[in-house]
Amino acid sequence: MSRIEALFAKKSPVLIGFTVAGDPGIEASFRVAKTMIDARVDLLEIAIPYSDPVADGPVIERAHVRALRAGATPETAFALVREVREYAPALPVVLFTYYNIIHRRGGDRFFAEAAAAGADGVLVVDLPVEESDEVAPFAARYGIDRIALVAPTTSPDRQRAILYGASGFVYIISIEGVTGERDRLSPGIARLVGAVREKTALPLAVGFGISRPEHVRTVVAAGADGVIVGSALVRTIEEHLGDEAGMHAALRTVIARLRRGFAPDPEPDILRRERVEG
């Protein structure tokens, strides 16, 4: 059983945290990861810094820029995975990347290095299902889960095609557009989670736009097995550049607040309205 399988078999829902390797600095990025782990992130998604992160909104784009300016490379990401693996042997780690990085490196080499570093899964955000053979054989060869992406605009037939070769878990995109915090999540999340659930036995994790406990609560109520948070954590890093102690304290606070979303709402909306209006 892989670390990802073991995690979802042991607990649900899980909190998945995102960070960019090399942000806010190459050495500092491990300290960020360590704080996130200590604050009880259940799975860590590590992005390989890239110059054209088209799926990412401005907050995460700036994190890629900071990492690249600090000198981060794919080797930086692999080194960070190794450090995380040594610090937290049972913690699942997923590499988030764009296909050009794999193509430039060569599929066999990339997945061999990812496996040797201790990565459990790889999410290639811009690789369409029609071209999945570019990575599928290498992922299988080295025992790396291939994380699938399903968007609100993905048709049922395309969902089936995407899910056919997926493993680990399914990343459900909650909204149309790029990553970034939102005031409200789509009211169609439960419908989308239910539609994907009918087509796969894999765990389902929802990301994009999640930044508040009430967002977490909404996603869990929709039936998801995991909640993915990226921009809210990356923005916390950005807001504390030059104050590393404050950065780590703020990260712990944000993660603790998000985890409160896993508990039932102590005051349902109808009671809250009655209290405010009455």
Q: Which of 5, 23, 27, 56 is catalytic?
A: 56
Residue 267 falls in the annotated catalytic set: no
d(Cα 23, Cα 63) in Å, to the nearest integer?
Answer: 6
Token pair 């169609």 is found at 188
Q: Which of 23, 38, 42, 45 is catalytic?
A: 45
d(Cα 163, Cα 201) in Å, to the nearest integer?
Answer: 10
SS3 230: coil
10 — phi, psi (to 5°)?
A: -85, -35
Alpha-helical regions (H) of the chain? 3-10, 26-38, 58-69, 74-87, 99-105, 107-117, 136-141, 156-164, 189-197, 213-221, 231-239, 244-259, 269-277
From residue 1, alpha-carbon distances to 7, 92, 115, 168, 250 in Å are 10, 12, 15, 10, 35
Complete edge-to-edge strand list for the sheet that includes strand 170-173: 145-146, 121-124, 93-97, 43-47, 14-20, 226-229, 204-207, 170-173, 148-150
Helices (H) and strands (E) in the chain, counts: 13, 9
Q: How many CB atoms lie within 10 A of CB 186?
A: 18
Residue 120 falls in the annotated catalytic set: no
Q: Are 77 and 48 in contact (CB under 8 A)?
A: yes
d(Cα 95, Cα 77) in Å, to the nearest integer?
Answer: 8
- Active-site positions read 45, 56
